[in-house]
A = this chain, B = another copy of it.
Amino acid sequence: MDIVIASRNAGKIREMREALETSGLRLLTFEDLGDWPEPEETGRTLEQNAILKAAALRERFSLPALADDSGLEVDFLGGRPGIHSSRYAGPEGDAEKNMTLMLEELEGVPPQKRTARFACVIALSLEGDTRLRRGVCEGRIVEARKGLGGFGYDPVFQPDGFDRTMAELTLAEKNRISHRGKPLAAMREVLRAK
């Protein structure tokens, strides 16, 4: 089965390929299909944004489409930046600036108050049937960037039960425990049953 991925984010595409590419399942990106205008993320929840992106692509290409929306909720910041995570430090969506702002806002905050969670919703849009799965990964914001893997806030987020940040995990390790890997694994089972 061919599935369109509604993302231009190389890190997300890599994680989706790792989680989903099995025999009989082919993931197509903007590089395969020609680029499309990115729909504005006007939803108020991860669910609404994920579905907005998946539905737009399913309609455009008449193919099943897969989209992700994710966010980082920091308890000390009252759940911010949440659905606005990628544009936390400005509209250009610069991950380095986002992390710098995050570390500044949490400067001097003790470890036990730096709890946070990544949340992710994966939407799979099929003809007349849409599946949404939510995944969460609990952890905390460390004091300084560590690691070169992953993308986004991965260098400043340490998942519970690890003494490494998300950016220090291998792709397979990250997919096993992450907010994105867990719902992707569930979606793989949905797709297998189709």
Contact = CB atoms under 8 A, between A and B. Distances in A.
Interface of A: 42-45, 47-48, 51-52, 55, 128-136, 183, 186
Nearest to A129: B133
A132 B130 CA distance: 5
Contact of A45 (B55, B128, B131, B136): B55
A47 B51 CA distance: 8
8 contacts: A43-B43, A48-B51, A128-B183, A129-B132, A129-B133, A130-B131, A130-B134, A131-B132
A181 to B, nearest CB: 14
A134 B135 CA distance: 24
A44 B42 contact: yes
Number of copies: 2
Contacts of A130: 47, 131-134
Contacts of A134: 128-130
A172 to B, nearest CB: 22
A57 to B, nearest CB: 13
B52 A51 contact: no
Given A51-B51, A129-B186, 14 more contacts: A42-B44, A45-B51, A45-B55, A47-B51, A47-B130, A48-B52, A51-B132, A129-B131, A129-B134, A130-B131, A130-B134, A131-B131, A131-B132, A132-B132
Nearest to A128: B134
List of 8 A-B pairs having minimum Cβ-Cβ separation, nearest first: A130-B132, A128-B134, A48-B48, A47-B51, A129-B133, A47-B55, A48-B51, A47-B130
